[in-house]
Structure 1
Amino acid sequence: MKKVLLLFAVVLTTAAFAQNKNAKASIEVDGVCLMCKDRIEKAAIRTKGVKSAVWNVETHELKLIFDERKTDLKKISAKVASVGHDTKEIKATDEAYNSVHPCCRYRDENVVGDHKN
């Protein structure tokens, strides 16, 4: 009986802490153009554990496939913010934001307006 209870406890614990190696999620990332797309996707992909990253210029949605055992959305957001792009969780530093190309300055209303035309 003790062996059965021990086995049950091990299985239950393992199931509770199991993490998905192909987790899917999406986060909103600010940007305005194809240069932003390239920068955002590269930053996400360079995060250990990220298998796929596709950012949509129109919706600002970054769709991800990643290994939850190696990373999480907060780490991915931090990596994207480090190259100058704000996410809902993490805002890029002024230094990182100012490092992006002038056409990619999504906080500037004039730049955003130029990309809508």
Structure 2
Amino acid sequence: MNMQGQEVKREAVETAEIKPNKNRKVEFAVDGNCDMCKKRIEKAAFSVKGVKSADWHMDHKDIHLIIDETKCSVLDVQKAIARAGHDTEGVKATDEEYAKIHGCCQYRTQESH
């Protein structure tokens, strides 16, 4: 491949890295305890325009998403989940939001306050 061909190939790779992905697979930590938490977390994620798939895993305490980056960001989803009362690895729920969730769903221990 000549130098010009290598330059074009490098530019194509750089452009692909910048271009928003319409089916980006993402996962991040989300605190919760039970099936009620699962429903609340997934509902909050789906409330964000651009979320195509949301599946919270109770055993690993993480959410697996497919998002359209042209419509939303990971941070948008983390903020929505935090507003529903659940801490994410990027955004922590306020004490007021956390206090609204059911007692069995409250995952914070006294030591973590």
Where does residue 83 of structure 1 map in the other structure? 84
Letter of the 1:19 partner, please give it.
P
CA deviation after TM superposition for structure 1 residue 16, in Å? 5.5
CA deviation after TM superposition for structure 1 residue 15, in Å? 4.2
Q: TM-score, normalised on structure 1?
A: 0.79
CA deviation after TM superposition for structure 1 residue 108, in Å? 3.3
Q: CA RMSD in A?
A: 1.7
CA deviation after TM superposition for structure 1 residue 17, in Å? 3.7
- Structure 1 gap ranges (5+): 1-7, 110-117
Q: Indicate the structure (1 or 2) with the bigger Cα radius of gyration.
A: 1
Q: Which moved more, 1:16-25 or 1:82-91?
A: 16-25
Letter of the 2:99 partner, please give it.
N
CA deviation after TM superposition for structure 1 residue 88, in Å? 1.1
- Tell me if 1:99 matches 2:100: yes
Any runs of at least 4 consecutive aligned residues in structure 1 with deviations exceeding 2 A, and if so which? 11-17
SS in 2 for 1:75: helix
- Tell me if 1:35 matches 2:30: no
Where does residue 48 of structure 1 map in the other structure? 49
Written as runs of structure 1 = structure 2, the 5 A alignment for 1:60-75 is 60-75=61-76
Please give the per-residue CA displacement for 1:33-92, whole angstroms capped at 9, x wherever unaligned: 000000000000111100000001110010000001111111110000000000111110
- Structure 2 gap ranges (5+): 1-7
Supply the distance in 1 between the matched residues of 2:50 and 2:77 (Cα, whole angstroms).
9
CA deviation after TM superposition for structure 1 residue 100, in Å? 0.2
Where does residue 113 of structure 1 map in the other structure? none
SS in 2 for 1:89: coil
Supply the distance in 1 between the matched residues of 2:101 and 2:18 (Cα, whole angstroms).
39
Letter of the 1:87 partner, please give it.
T
SS in 2 for 1:19: coil
Supply the distance in 2 between the matched residues of 1:39 and 1:27 (Cα, whole angstroms).
16
Q: TM-score, normalised on structure 2?
A: 0.81
